Structure 1
Amino acid sequence: MQIRTRFAPSPTGYLHIGSARTALYSWLFAKKNNGIFILRFEDTDFERSTESSVKGIINGLNWLKLSWDEGPYFQSKKLKYYIEIIHSMLSTGCAYRCYCSEVRLQKVRKYQIEQGKKPKYDGKCRTLSNNIHVNNSSYVVRFKNPEKGQVIFQDQIRGKIVVNNSELDDLIILRSNGIPTYNFCVVIDDRDMDITHVIRGEDHINNTPRQINILKALGAKIPLYAHVSMIIDIDGKKLSKRNNVIDVMKYCKLGYLPEAILNYILRLGWSHGDQEIFSIKEMKELFTLDNVGKSSSCFNIKKLLWFNHYYINSLPIDYIIQCLKSFYTEARININNGPNLNMVVPLVRNKCKTLNDVIKLTRFFYEECSYLNNKIIQKYLNNSSIFMLKEIKKQIETLSIWQVKNISLMIHALSDHYKVSIKEVAMPLRIAITGTNVSPSIDMTIYVLGRYCVLKRINNALEYIYNN
Structure 2
Amino acid sequence: MVVTRFAPSPTGYLHIGGLRTALYSYLWAKRKGGKFLLRIEDTDLKRNSQEATEAIVEAFKWVGLSHDGEVFYQSKRFDIYKKYVQQLLDEGKAYYCYMSSEEKNELYEKQKANKQRTKYDGRYRDFEGTPPEGVEPVVRIKSPLSGEISFIDGIKGEIKFNVEDILDDFVIARGDGTPLYNFVVAIDDALMGVTEVIRGDDHISNTPKQIVVYKALGFDIPKFYHVPMILNPSGKKLSKRDGAMDVMEYKKDGFLPEALLNFLIRLGWSHGDQELFSFEEMSELFDPNDINKSASAYNAEKLLWINSQYIKTASTQRLVEVLKDYDLDLSGFEKTEELLGLLRDRAKDMNELKQMISSIINKPTQYEQKAVDKFLKGDALDILEAFNKELKSKGEVTLTDEFKEVANNFLESKGLKLKHLAQPIRIAIVGSAVSPSVFDVLSIVGYNEVVQRIDNLIKNQKGLERE
For Structure 1 versus Structure 2, the TM-score category normalised by the shorter chain is: over 0.9
8 A Cα contact 2:390 2:410, kept in partner: no
Q: Report whether the alignment pairs 1:184 with 2:183.
A: yes
Which stretch of structure 1 is more off in the superposition, 362-371 or 25-34?
362-371
8 A Cα contact 2:183 2:210, kept in partner: yes
Q: Tell me the CA shift for residue 328 of structure 1.
A: 2.9
Determine the C-alpha separation between the residues in 2 that align with 1:373 and 1:227. 53
Which stretch of structure 1 is more off in the superposition, 190-199 or 94-103?
94-103
Q: Report whether the alignment pairs 1:463 with 2:448.
A: no
Which stretch of structure 1 is more off in the superposition, 370-379 or 436-445?
370-379
2:432 maps to which residue?
A: 436
1:51 maps to which residue?
A: 50
Determine the C-alpha separation between the residues in 2 that align with 1:395 and 1:173. 85
Q: Report whether the alignment pairs 1:418 with 2:406.
A: no
2:361 maps to which residue?
A: 366
8 A Cα contact 1:339 1:365, kept in partner: no
2:149 maps to which residue?
A: 151
1:404 maps to which residue?
A: 400
Which stretch of structure 1 is more off in the superposition, 142-151 or 448-457?
142-151
Q: Secondary structure at the match of 1:153?
A: strand
Q: Secondary structure at the match of 1:53?
A: helix
Corresponding residue pairs, total: 462
Determine the C-alpha separation between the residues in 2 that align with 1:429 and 1:338. 22
Gaps of 5+ in 1: none
8 A Cα contact 1:339 1:449, kept in partner: no
Q: Tell me the CA shift for residue 385 of structure 1.
A: 2.3
Gaps of 5+ in 2: none
Q: Secondary structure at the match of 1:205?
A: helix
Q: Report whether the alignment pairs 1:447 with 2:443.
A: yes
Mapping 1:279-358, distance limit 5 Å: 279-329=278-328, 335=330, 339-358=334-353
Q: Secondary structure at the match of 2:199?
A: strand
Q: Tell me the CA shift for residue 31 of structure 1.
A: 0.2
Q: 1:337 to 1:376 in 2, by over 3 A?
A: farther
2:372 to 377, 391, 403: 377
Q: Tell me the CA shift for residue 235 of structure 1.
A: 1.8
Q: Secondary structure at the match of 1:70?
A: coil
1:142 maps to which residue?
A: 140
Q: Secondary structure at the match of 2:379?
A: helix
1:165 maps to which residue?
A: 163
1:25 maps to which residue?
A: 24
The one-letter amino acid paired with 1:351 is R
CA deviation string 1:200-257 (max 9, x = no partner): 0001000101101110111111100000000111121111236545211000111100
Q: Secondary structure at the match of 1:71?
A: coil
8 A Cα contact 1:389 1:458, kept in partner: yes
What TM-score do the two structures reach when normalised by structure 1?
0.95
Q: Secondary structure at the match of 2:161?
A: strand
Q: Secondary structure at the match of 1:457?
A: helix
Q: 1:310 to 1:354 in 2, by over 3 A?
A: same
Determine the C-alpha separation between the residues in 1 that align with 2:213 and 2:331. 62
Determine the C-alpha separation between the residues in 2 that align with 1:373 and 1:449. 19
8 A Cα contact 2:368 2:431, kept in partner: no
8 A Cα contact 2:367 2:427, kept in partner: no
Determine the C-alpha separation between the residues in 2 that align with 1:241 and 1:465. 45
2:72 maps to which residue?
A: 73
Identity %: 39
8 A Cα contact 1:426 1:442, kept in partner: yes
C-alpha RMSD of matched pairs (Å): 1.8
1:222 maps to which residue?
A: 221
Q: 1:336 to 1:219 in 2, by over 3 A?
A: closer
